[in-house]
Amino acid sequence: MIYIHTRKNFIDLFSKNSYVLCKFHVSFSTSRKKQPMNIPKTFDFLLQKHHFSPETVSKVASVLPHLKNTQKCDSILSFLKESGFSNVQLEKVVKHTPRFLAASLERKIKPKVKIFQDLGYSAGELADLISKDPWILHRGVGKMVCALSVLKGLMRSNAEVAKLLQISGWFLTRDLTKTLVPNVKLLESCDIPLERIVNIMYLFPRFLLNEPEVMRKSVNKADEMGVCRGCKMYIHAVRVISSMTDKTWEMKLKAFRDMGFSEDDILRAFRQAPPVFIISVKKMMKIKEIVLATGKYDISYIAKNPTFLCRSIEKWHKPRLQVLEVLERKKLITDWPAFTTMFKMSEKKFFEKFVGPYIDELGDVYLAKNAVK
């Protein structure tokens, strides 16, 4: 039973048990009192009826200083509340896009709400979507219908379109015929199945909204790096390259060289695991430092297993290396596992092989006994 209770807390079990208590003495100047906001009486209804903060109301007043028809604004807000918006969500939308309060409820607001209701959105889902991306309210109805038509052609169903938009409303704020459509065609010409392209839209929605020229340059760079078209990593290679400027890309290549990777190592790492190239240089160097400090592995092991760099330093690298160091120091093991073995070993397997049998000895060092019930 002790294994069951402790294995789940393996990562926390071996983190450092030290606490730093810091006291901060913060002084505030009272020499300058905050002046009350001068809000025109025209906007009192936002404070009194809708309970918006003075800051939000002040912003509305500054953006719409000549607003006279407050009944029109009130009708829009009341309609959105009836459509499922909470007061917090409504204030967030107003704060980000106050100009929509001057729009026509019948011609601009209601048709957009109906579009999402027809897609199958619940009241809560609709409010959540628009409060996350308030700029949707500024998109013309015709342009929204066009975007939704493009998305349905790709996703095959309203339910899938609704699911995608719940992840990101950006697809409704762009001209998809000039971004998404040509980008999908380009990737298909690289032997990438449409299903794979659609799947990446859920994970990285903004990727396919890049300018087509950026996408073409990224495809060319992926080809130069020797990534095989049609393989599962190709689309990720293009995505990673598209997320960087030329300067950032060169800096990342330099970072790998500084780590000790050869040119062949760099090419192999990119072909195997393009996302490794998004990892910060600081993290890369820190992992190199703690791995080489063991004296058991050298940089060639990391070069051959590049996804090792994706692991968390505090939750994965340090706990495992610390456990092995303690076991060796206490002569409980004579040899460390092969790098690839340790890297591929699941948390459960690592616990069963290197932690469970020595829980008392490890507990003496890491105060593990306090966590074992």
pLDDT tens for residues 238-274?
Answer: 999 999 999 999 999 999 999 999 999 999 999 999 9
Q: What angle do CA 264, 267, 268 make, to 5 degrees?
A: 85
DSSP 59-125: HHHHHSTT---HHHHHHHHHHHHHTT--HHHHHHHHHH-GGGGGS-IIIIIHHHHHHHHHTT--HHH
Task: Determine the Cα–Cα distance for residues 351 and 347; give it in Å rounded to an integer.
Answer: 6
Tell me, what's the pLDDT at 34? 44
Model pTM score: 0.75
Tell me, what's the pLDDT at 10? 43
Which residue in the block uniquely carries the two structure tokens 């899938």?
A: 160
Burial of 320 (0-12, 13-18, 19+ CB in 10 A): buried
Task: Determine the Cα–Cα distance for residues 226 and 271; give it in Å rounded to an integer.
Answer: 7
Tell me, what's the pLDDT at 32? 43
Tell me, what's the pLDDT at 67? 80
Task: Determine the Cα–Cα distance for residues 121 and 131; give it in Å rounded to an integer.
Answer: 14
Other Cβ atoms closer than 10 A to 233: 17
pLDDT tens by residue, the chain, 373 residues: 444 444 444 444 444 443 333 333 333 344 444 444 567 777 888 888 888 999 999 999 898 888 878 888 999 999 999 999 999 999 999 999 999 998 999 999 999 999 888 888 889 989 998 998 888 888 888 999 999 999 999 998 888 998 898 898 889 888 999 999 999 999 999 999 999 999 999 999 999 999 999 999 999 999 999 999 999 999 999 999 999 999 999 999 999 999 999 999 999 999 999 999 999 999 999 999 999 999 999 999 999 999 999 999 988 999 899 999 999 999 999 999 999 998 889 989 998 999 889 888 887 544 433 333 3
Other Cβ atoms closer than 10 A to 170: 14
Task: Determine the Cα–Cα distance for residues 127 and 229; give it in Å rounded to an integer.
Answer: 41
Instruction: Residue 180: name the closest of 161, 204, 207 by CA.
Output: 207
Domain ranges, ordered by start, for the chain:
248-310, 312-373
Q: What is the pLDDT of residues 189-236, one digit of tens each?
A: 999 999 999 999 999 999 999 999 999 999 999 999 999 999 999 999
